[in-house]
Amino acid sequence: MFEAAARHLNFSTAASELSITQPAVSHGIRQLEVTLGHPLFVREHRTLSLTTQGLRLYAAVASGFGTISETLAEISGSAHRDKIVASASTVLATEWLLPKLAGLRQEHPNLQIEIRCLDRDPELASSGIDIHIRLGDGNWPFCSSTQLWAEQIVPVCSPAFLERHGPFGSVAELLSHPLIHYVDPYRLRIGWAEWLRALELPVPANLPVALEVNDSLFAQKAAEMGEGISLGWRPIVDHALAAGRLAIAFPRTLETGRHHYAVIASGPGIRRAVAQFRDWLSARSSA
């Protein structure tokens, strides 16, 4: 009952799934909270969220149920495909993960993957997401993180744009052409001013921003279509560079010290399928 309520963050939906009444779910959860001596849910108006103790319990319960499901399938000997839910930003999923999925299927034919493209980082314990590819310092509460690749940022544009306006021998030449500026409303991302300052390069009073967007994939596509110069995150842009859709506009790469990580909610155990996908991501990031 708790697992269903925590997964849906809705007592009515949990009750429908379990074929019982909503009051029965509410009463059962309150009994559990009294027994444990801790509130598990924050009840505010019509919204429901997990407390810190609720997040801890859900991580353990969800992991335990996953292990039970795998064991039952193995004992029954029935045909079984391991399904996981993975999430990432749209640009990472499209430009980095999607081109590699054929290789994933070859290595793990029994692995079925659901990919969710998200514009903000999820709360793993209550979202139903098994593994999330996230940029940061690797320290997130109640999560385990496997380091993947370093954040590397380099200016990119279309090959035609570079041929028409370049090569750019200096920052001044680079900044005399239209820039595409990506501003993420939910995550900390490096912009043009931050990129210049981090490399100890001068920041002009008025950057020549011709286009400002709130989506990284859109910024990349605009650069590919010759709208200007955008900042690109490697290795996410590597597929477009290899395909000739993008070119490096200026050979200065910023390494911020942050990394992308494969992030999993903490628990007493990790399902085999999740561990396989995490290890596959790790191997691909160092290839």
**DSSP class per residue in 142-196:** TEEEEEEEEEEEEEEE-HHHHHHH----SHHHHTTS-EEEE--SSS----HHHHH
Burial class (CB within 10 angstroms; exposed 0-12, middle 13-18, buried 19+) of 252 = middle
Q: Which of 29-33, 78-82, 154-158, 217-221 has the lowest mean pLDDT?
A: 78-82
Q: Is the dihedral of CA 128, 130, 132, 138 positive or negative?
A: positive
Mean pLDDT confidence for 101-106? 92
pLDDT band at residue 77, thresholds of 50, 70 and 90? low
| Stronger pLDDT, 189 or 225, i.e. the higher one | 225
Report the mean per-residue pLDDT for the chain. Answer: 88
What's residue 78's pLDDT?
A: 47
Q: What's CA 108's distance to the chain center, in Å?
A: 21
Share of residues in the chain with pLDDT > 90 (%): 53
Enter the DSSP assignment of 96. Answer: I
Q: Is the pLDDT reported for residue 268 higher than 90? A: no
| Stronger pLDDT, 47 or 67, i.e. the higher one | 47
Torsions phi, psi for 66 (to 5 deg): -65, -40
Mean pLDDT confidence for 136-150? 89
Cβ–Cβ < 8 Å for 255, 152: yes
Mean pLDDT confidence for 40-44? 89
In the chain, which ranges are continuous DSSP H helix?
Answer: 2-8, 11-18, 22-36, 52-76, 90-92, 101-107, 124-127, 159-165, 171-174, 192-198, 216-224, 238-243, 272-285
Cβ–Cβ < 8 Å for 217, 144: no
Q: Which of 116-120, 183-187, 221-225, 273-277 has the lowest mean pLDDT?
A: 183-187
Q: Is the pLDDT reported for residue 68 higher than 80? A: no
What's residue 79's pLDDT?
A: 45
What's residue 153's pLDDT?
A: 95
Task: Write out pLDDT tens, residues 9-27.
Answer: 888 888 988 889 999 999 9
Cβ–Cβ < 8 Å for 148, 282: yes
Q: Is the pLDDT reported for residue 270 higher than 90? A: no
Pick the closest to residue 141 from 267, 274, 266 (CA basis).
266
